[in-house]
Amino acid sequence: MLVHPASVKGEALHLVAAGLNDCEIARRIGVPRSTVRDWRRPSYTPRGPNLLCPRCWGPARPMWFSDSDYAELLGLYLGDGHIVRAGRTHRLRLFLDSSYTGIIEDARALLDRCFADNDVGVGRSPEGTTTILSVYCSHLTCLFPQHGAGKKHERPIALEEWQVACVEGAPMNFVRGCIVSDGCFFINRTGPYGYPSYTFRNFSEDIRSLFAWACELVGVEYRTEATSVRIYQRESVVRLIRPVGAKTY
């Protein structure tokens, strides 16, 4: 394959800028007309710098994770997320209640930020009650090493050191991710009085423990029950209202 010197290509592009046609330029500098045509309108896009996954060092599309975004997405994944093999890549799906359109839009925006070069899919269950957000990425199992065979509550769930550091850097975002996926906000009625409360419900004792740990990091009091963690102390509920929301939007 003949590779022309950069000076020849430079001269051709200079003549292109001067308004000469491909035939005239080819005649002047002694190259095929098709070569001039390709230089004028290249049919390829040069690749940018190779991006590497920070865990397996394999080639990766751009992924952007601040501590706050990763902590929230981790909470969403541990609550209502699922990763499956899809050909040569993996697919992350988040299952969200269709009633909460604001939460769905926030989660979609979160995936758009974290996987800027990947399309975010939006689907619904046959009944329409569940909205399913999805994204394909070859490094999902690197980002979420808790992925494995079987249901989450039937196997150990533990964070790696780098994940612990992310959650410690943004514990409220992790709490938010857990609550908007597997939690609820409600009014606890006691006689004529009503008390705003939060509950996070998950069959995995390990995931409930992670949620409780994050609550401690943000100074939120809680009470553990069989499969849930309840937050009903007034000061703790107030602490969560602004950053987490009332799960009614």
Same domain, 74 and 174: yes
The whole-model pTM stands at 0.75
Bridge-based pairing of strands 183-190 and 121-124 is unpaired
157 within some domain:
yes
Same domain, 189 and 119: yes
Same domain, 106 and 17: no
Same domain, 203 and 155: yes
55 within some domain:
no
- Lateral strand order in the sheet of 193-201: 183-190, 193-201, 228-231, 223-224
47 within some domain:
no
230 within some domain:
yes
Same domain, 155 and 234: yes
How far lies 13's CA from each of 6, 27, 68, 75, in Å?
11, 14, 47, 53
- How many beta carbons lie within 10 A of that of residue 232, not counting itself? 16
223 within some domain:
yes
Structure tokens at 31: 């190259």
143 CA to centre of own chain = 9
- State the first-to-last Cα distance of the chain, in angstroms, to the nearest integer: 62
Same domain, 124 and 205: yes
| Burial environment of residue 2 by CB neighbours within 10 A (0 to 12, 13 to 18, 19 or more) | exposed
Same domain, 30 and 77: no
Same domain, 20 and 88: no
75 within some domain:
yes
Structure tokens at 29: 């500098």
What is the number of domains present in the chain?
2
Same domain, 25 and 74: no
Q: Which residue range forms the structural domain that includes residue 32?
A: 6-40
Tens-digit pLDDT profile for the chain (249 aa)?
A: 445 666 777 788 778 777 788 888 888 888 888 788 777 765 544 444 446 676 676 777 778 888 999 999 999 999 989 999 988 899 999 999 999 999 999 999 999 999 888 889 999 999 989 999 999 998 899 899 999 888 898 899 999 998 999 999 999 999 999 999 999 888 888 777 788 899 999 999 999 999 999 999 999 999 999 999 999 999 999 999 888 888 655
Q: Which amino acid is at 198?
A: Y
CATH, residue 170: 3.10.28.10
